[in-house]
Amino acid sequence: MNTTEVIRAENLTKIFKTRESEIVALKNINLSVKDGEFLCIVGPSGCGKTTLLRIFAGLEKQTLGKVYLRVKNTEKPLTAMVFQGDSVFPWMKVTENVEYGLRMRGVPTRERREIALKYLKLMGLEKFAGYYPHQLSGGMKQRINVARAFASDPEILLMDEPFGALDEQNRLILQQELLRIWEGSGKTTVFITHSIDEALLLGDRIIVMTAQPGRIKAILEVGMARPRDMLSIKSSPPFVQLYREIWELLREEVLKARDIKLKK
Amino acid sequence: MNAVEEKPNRIIKREEISEGASKSLQRRAFLFQILSFLSPLLLLLLWEILARLNAIDVRLFSSPSRIFAALVPLVSSGELLYHTLVSAWRILLGFIVGAVPGVLLGLSMGLFPPVKALLQPLVAVTFPIPKLAVMPLILIIFGLGESSKVFTIAIGVFYLVLINTMAGVLNIDTIYMDVARSFGASRVQFYTTVALPGALPMIFAGLKLGMGTALLLIVAAELSAARAGVGWMIWRAYDMFDIEKMFCALIVLAFLGYIFSYVLDFVEKVVIPWKNR
């Protein structure tokens, strides 16, 4: 593992065994994530993107291969994950949810309240700090989910389609917000999305994965200057060019994934 | 084509809600309230009329006026209150003695697979035994005093709370466990921030079921070797063929059941403020 790498996966394979069948979710994944990089992963649904992220987060163990993560600062948590579904604890108030990671690390109440409030403000939720999640909309809960990961201040941020369930307007605002926070923090981020637009707006590099079994099909450098915003990049030639390239790669895989589903 | 030609540009108007319609909705809600209030009164009235007409045997079925006449001295002498308090105290104690270990054991069975593997068969085998069938054994072991009554109730409550608590833990969505793990929650932190709060709704479902069983068991437990209590009153009235007194005791039981479930609902609202009601 060279010094600029923060995550490195070598020949990573994950096989889910059930009584009737074996599903190869990931096959021979080799990749490295550089320090401070924003890496986006796109791929057809069911290609093992989430599994890859869960292995990085330590929630799942690979069947074969090696994964290395660099710990630079022992004070900070190594990873924090933004989950895809509704993962906000219904029994905690909004603030308590956001400060959960800090509480697990034993940060004093007062300090973590302050940090939580800061991220609630960034997410436009400070008015709802004392609410319970069931009083909020799905989009608001997803923002709590994002705020919770940021508040814990990890070295590596793992995000699994965090804006997938949001409406377009809120998504645009949060993407911009995420970029702003990320550019300020320089946090290494692995970000799963099904939106090519989103990947191009956010990512330094984009990994395109194949349909099941999930393999790396292509790695693209985005190379557009930062700070970016959707309005100005969307009509720029590199954006259009990359969009077409990624879509052609993905299209094949999405069609393949459809065939796999039909066969089942 | 000889289909019937429809008029083009037909306009359908959607009417706004009329004053009259919203008024009539309110009136209906009010009517329903009156109905649910009236139904017990009507039943009592019917009962009284049938008794007065000698259509039912008052020696067996009594009548509201007779029961009320018997109730007044029972209340004013303090006798009814005394028996009520005795029974309520036994229920409360039995409830606590049964529910506390039920919750603790249910949590550990839900959280630790080895504990579940160890205890599940025992629970599965002993749960179906009717608690009343164990009562004689309890009397032999605990004697004729208070503890045998408390323990009978405790046993009934224990199983219901245990089974519901365990189910509550096992049914917590795995995503919450993933969140706790990914943020590095320790074992203790996991119990206090995920397992216990996540299981609380089911724990309360168990407590409510347990309360019903406790009322059932108190009557049975006071059948034998008791000198006070609402259940004892019923059996005593049976011996004396005092139907009115029996009804008075039944009223107390209904009242106790209502109070206990009210208290449980209240505590639930305080403990689980996050539940969507």
Asked if residue A83 is part of any domain, the answer here is no
What average pLDDT does the segment A189-215 reach?
Answer: 93
3-state helix, strand, coil in chain A (%, to 5): 40, 25, 35
Q: Which long-range contacts (CB under 8 A, 24 or more apart) does B66-71 make?
A: B66/B244, B67/B244, B67/B247, B67/B248, B67/B251, B69/B244, B70/B242, B70/B244, B70/B245, B70/B247, B70/B248, B71/B244, B71/B248, B71/B251
Quick: pLDDT tens for B247-274. Answer: 999 999 999 999 999 999 999 999 999 9
Q: Is B129 exposed, middle or buried (0-12, 13-18, 19+ CB in 10 A)?
A: exposed
pLDDT at residue B266 in the model: 94
- For residue A32, give Cα distances in angstroms to A152, A209, B88, B213: 24, 15, 68, 61
pLDDT at residue B5 in the model: 60
Residues A146 and A125 in one domain: yes
A101, A125, A153: which is the final residue of a domain? A153
Answer whether B181 sits within 8 Å of A58, measured CB to CB. Answer: yes
The whole-angstrom separation of Cα A222 and Cα A37 is 12
The whole-angstrom separation of Cα A136 and Cα A94 is 9
A97, A124, A153: which is the final residue of a domain? A153
A105, A120, A153: which is the final residue of a domain? A153
| A contacts of B275 (beta carbons < 8 Å) | 134
Q: Which of A51, A89, A103 to mutate to test the interface with B (most CBs of B within 10 A)?
A: A89
From A178, A177, A210, A176, select the one nearest A191 (Cα to Cα): A178
ipTM value, please give it: 0.90
CA distance B33 to chain A (A): 29
What average pLDDT does the segment A179-197 reach?
Answer: 90
What is the DSSP annotation of A180-222? HHHHHH--EEEEE-S-HHHHHHH-SEEEEEPSSSB-EEEEEE-
Residue B54 has pLDDT above 80, yes or no: yes
Residues A98 and A190 in one domain: no
pLDDT at residue B88 in the model: 94
From A205, A206, A198, select the one nearest A233 (Cα to Cα): A198
pLDDT at residue A145 in the model: 92
| A contacts of B198 (beta carbons < 8 Å) | 91
Look at residue B184 and give its three-state secondary structure: coil
The values of phi and psi at residue A221, to 5°, are -85, 130
Calculate what percentage of chain A has a pLDDT beyond 70. 98
Residues A172 and A256 in one domain: yes
Residue A10 has pLDDT above 90, yes or no: yes
Residues A20 and A144 in one domain: no
Task: Quote the number of domains for chain A.
Answer: 2
> Is B277 within 8 Å of chain A by CB?
no
Residues A192 and A93 in one domain: no
Residue B52 has pLDDT above 70, yes or no: yes
> What angle separates helix B230-240 from helix B243-271, to the nearest 10 degrees?
160
Asked if residue A42 is part of any domain, the answer here is yes
Calculate what percentage of chain A has a pLDDT beyond 90. 62
What average pLDDT does the segment B181-188 reach?
Answer: 91
| A contacts of B176 (beta carbons < 8 Å) | 87, 89
Residues A99 and A192 in one domain: no
pLDDT at residue A217 in the model: 92
The whole-angstrom separation of Cα B10 and Cα A255 is 45
Residues A73 and A11 in one domain: yes
Quick: pLDDT tens for B63-119. Answer: 999 999 999 999 999 999 999 999 999 999 999 999 999 999 999 999 899 999 999
Asked if residue A12 is part of any domain, the answer here is yes
According to the 3-state scheme, what is the secondary structure of A87-150?
CCCCCCCHHHHHCHHHHHCCCCHHHHHHHHHHHHHHCCCHHHCCCCHHHCCHHHHHHHHHHHHH
Answer whether A87 sits within 8 Å of B176, measured CB to CB. Answer: yes
> Is B201 within 8 Å of chain A by CB?
no
Least confident of A84-93, A172-181, B258-267: A172-181
Answer whether B186 sits within 8 Å of A89, measured CB to CB. Answer: no
| B contacts of A105 (beta carbons < 8 Å) | 184
Residue A79 has pLDDT above 80, yes or no: yes
Residues A199 and A247 in one domain: yes
Least confident of A89-103, A194-208, A234-248, B212-226: B212-226
Residues A63 and A92 in one domain: no
> Is B18 within 8 Å of chain A by CB?
no
Domain of A132 in residue numbering reads as 88-153
Give B3's pLDDT tier (boundaries 50, 70, 90): low
Asked if residue A191 is part of any domain, the answer here is yes
| A contacts of B272 (beta carbons < 8 Å) | 91
pLDDT at residue B135 in the model: 87
pLDDT at residue B202 in the model: 95
Residue B239 has pLDDT above 70, yes or no: yes
CA distance B182 to chain A (A): 6
> Is A152 within 8 Å of chain B by CB?
yes
> Is A17 within 8 Å of chain B by CB?
no
Contact A46, A212 (CB under 8 A): yes
Residue B162 has pLDDT above 80, yes or no: yes
pLDDT at residue B4 in the model: 56
Answer whether B183 sits within 8 Å of A86, measured CB to CB. Answer: no
Answer whether A86 sits within 8 Å of B175, measured CB to CB. Answer: yes
Tell me which H or E stretch contains B199. helix B196-221
CATH number of the domain that residue A184 is part of = 3.40.50.300
> Is B198 within 8 Å of chain A by CB?
yes
Residues A172 and A232 in one domain: yes
What average pLDDT does the segment B39-49 reach?
Answer: 93
Residues A131 and A205 in one domain: no
pLDDT at residue B248 in the model: 94
Q: Cβ of A228: how many Cβ atoms within 10 Å?
A: 21
The whole-angstrom separation of Cα A213 and Cα A167 is 30
Calculate what percentage of chain B has a pLDDT beyond 90. 71
Give A50's pLDDT tier (boundaries 50, 70, 90): very high
pLDDT at residue A35 in the model: 92
Q: Which of B183, B186, B187, B276 to mutate to test the interface with A (most CBs of A within 10 A)?
A: B183
Q: Cβ of A196: how many Cβ atoms within 10 Å?
A: 21
- For residue B21, give Cα distances in angstroms to B16, B26, B27: 10, 9, 10
Contact A155, A78 (CB under 8 A): yes
